Amino acid sequence: MVRSIVANYNLQTFFTSTSKDDPGAIGLIIGQSGTDKDYVLYLAKLPFKYDKSSFGDIDENLILDHAKQITRMLPGGMNVLGIAVAHLEDLTSPLHPKLRHISSNLYKTLDSNRYFHGNHNQGNIILNYSLKTQKYICKEYNISNANLQSVDFKFSPKELKWNRIDCTLLIDEIYYLDKEEVNASLEEHIRAILNQIQEKLNNIQFLIDNQYKNEDDCIETYFKKKINKRGSKKDETDEDKPLEAVALLNHDFSSSLYMHQVVDSSGSLKMSGKIVSRIWVQPKMTLAEVSRFLKQDIICSLAARCEMHIDSLTEEENSEEISCIHEPPRRVMVSLPDIEPMFSDYLFPGEGQLDAKASVEELLDVKLKGKLNIEDLEGQADFTKYYDDSAQTTTSDNVIKLQSESSGKIMNTPILLAVAVLLISFLMYIYI
């Protein structure tokens, strides 16, 4: 079966803005994979150009690093679908060795992080625009067998429609450290508690507008049912209103997570705060897919801020007995012109709208005029309760707050890799 892909008509500017006399352009295809069709949301041009005569000399590490940063920004259900390239010639017939290598390593790189869900479940798309013939050629590169297949790719003059689903989840998770774990790194401690949270997420069920729904129903069917209940006249405002999802934990009491047991603990790590999940899906997506996308969004958001926090720490934890409070960067949602779905960004303490604007422009290759449209969904973390709790168990000298420094965002590459973003009332509290 030939893979079918549709994209908004205005995305052609990614290619048509590159003339024969300009260097070629390469970027990432961002979109959503459905059962029988894929939907392209955005083409993110990489912030560097290459000489048309030396495509084989492209530094693919820049592409891979850029892709890892972009996956942090994607709402649940959105993936890096593949690579878009504007070149003088057709690079797909036969497939250029460099393009084959980039496509394969891109998939492997994104697949290596279990939290970010950067890949979809099929091969990578390669969309090639020939500057000489001004024609598009789209192929699918199968990672497992290295086969190249034709793809039915179309630019639709009709704007793609998206349905929004919102969900708020309160997290108050504790992971107890045994004697062997207590001397491990903070990164290892966080990975352990993230694994514990992800296991519980797997047992979560979602109520849609406070009701159980048939998981095989698509979002489009749900909206039609809601409109019919209110009358034959179509209410545009009501139809466009986002769905509210409520998370219910389905306890599996056979799991070790829910068994009462006495443990010999040498310390603990606590994650506490409010996570707001907001995803966008195509109307043909089922409620089962909505549930999966919400879970992806929650764990990706947690992992992204924890990873950025670890990368930017400027002081080490004391090995003595302490209580240490960590403040990861905050999550915000950022709007781009002419695109309904929003992207995530993360702001370190002391950062604001200008920092978010700079990183969004750099990572997504967009020029934003005027004030950036940011939605603060979660609010800032309140440390008062945690300092009060610590005061009851330890002296004030042993209570340490470690927060990220914004200077840690920029890594040793020519690209601004950090995604400045917004608010999250989210804390990590370590007792040793």
Q: What is the per-residue pLDDT for 293?
A: 95
Q: What is the per-residue pLDDT for 48?
A: 72
On whether the CB atoms of residues 345 and 334 are closer than 8 A, the answer is yes
At residue 360 the predicted structure's pLDDT band, cuts being 50, 70 and 90, is: very high
The percent of residues above 90 in pLDDT, for the chain, comes to: 39
| pLDDT, average across residues 180-184 | 86
Q: Which long-range contacts (CB under 8 A, 24 or more apart) does 52-61 make?
A: 52/23, 52/24, 52/87, 52/88, 52/131, 55/24, 55/87, 55/91, 55/96, 55/98, 55/99, 56/96, 56/97, 56/98, 58/26, 58/98, 58/102, 60/98, 60/101, 60/102, 60/105, 61/413
Beta strands 330-334 and 204-208 are unpaired
Those residues whose C-beta lies under 8 Å from the C-beta of residue 417, and which sit 6 or more positions away, are: 65, 66, 69, 409, 410, 411
CA-closest candidate to residue 118, choices 3, 33, 25: 33
Residues 189 and 145 in one domain: no
Q: What is the DSSP string of 364-414?
A: HT-PPPSS--EE--S-----HHHHHHHHHHS-GGGEEEEE--GGGG--SSS
Residues 266 and 211 in one domain: yes
Task: List the domain range (segments joined by +) for residue 227.
Answer: 163-431
Beta strands 38-45 and 3-8 are parallel
Q: Is the pLDDT of residue 36 over 60?
A: yes
**Strand ranges across the sheet with 374-375:** 343-347, 330-334, 374-375
Distance CA 373, CA 332 (A): 10
CA Rg, the chain, in Å?
A: 23
67 secondary structure, DSSP code:
H
At residue 324 the predicted structure's pLDDT band, cuts being 50, 70 and 90, is: confident
Tokens of 119: 């890949």
Q: What is the per-residue pLDDT for 386?
A: 57
Distance CA 217, CA 25 (A): 40
Q: Is the pLDDT of residue 424 over 70?
A: no
At residue 423 the predicted structure's pLDDT band, cuts being 50, 70 and 90, is: very low
Residues 148 and 219 in one domain: no
Residues 277 and 220 in one domain: yes
**Strand ranges across the sheet with 267-281:** 204-208, 243-249, 163-177, 267-281, 426-431, 323-327, 399-403
The stretches of 92-214 forming alpha helices (DSSP H) are 97-111, 186-201
Q: What is the DSSP string of 225-257?
A: HHHHHH-SS--HHHHHSPEEEEEEE---TTSGG
| pLDDT, average across residues 24-41 | 91
Answer positive or negative: Cα dihedral of 130, 134, 140, 145. negative
Q: Is the pLDDT of residue 33 over 60?
A: yes
Tokens of 130: 């020939």
Residues 185 and 263 in one domain: yes
Task: Please identify, among 133, 156, 179, the residue that sits at the C-terminal boundary of a domain.
Answer: 156
Q: Is the pLDDT of residue 174 over 70?
A: yes
Task: Please identify, among 156, 190, 225, the residue that sits at the C-terminal boundary of a domain.
Answer: 156
Which amino acid is located at 407 in the chain? S
Select the more confidently predicted residue: 45 or 380: 45
Residue 76 belongs to domain with CATH number: 3.40.140.10
Residues 285 and 380 in one domain: yes
Task: Please identify, among 156, 190, 214, the residue that sits at the C-terminal boundary of a domain.
Answer: 156
| pLDDT, average across residues 135-152 | 91
Residues 249 and 381 in one domain: yes
Residues 187 and 59 in one domain: no
Q: Is the pLDDT of residue 348 over 80?
A: yes
Helices (H) and strands (E) in the chain, counts: 9, 17
Residues 200 and 121 in one domain: no
On whether the CB atoms of residues 73 and 363 are closer than 8 A, the answer is yes
Q: What is the per-residue pLDDT for 237?
A: 52
- What is the pTM assigned to this prediction? 0.84
Question: In angstroms, how far is CA 396 from the centroid of its own chain?
Answer: 38
Helix or strand (DSSP H, E) at 136:
strand 135-141
Residues 115 and 177 in one domain: no
Answer positive or negative: Cα dihedral of 335, 290, 66, 308. positive
- Number of structural domains (the chain) is 2
| pLDDT, average across residues 67-77 | 94
Residues 243 and 283 in one domain: yes
Cα→Cα distances 76→117, 275, 349, 415, 418, Å: 8, 13, 25, 25, 19
Q: Is the pLDDT of residue 326 over 60?
A: yes
Distance CA 98, CA 100 (A): 5
Residues 241 and 288 in one domain: yes
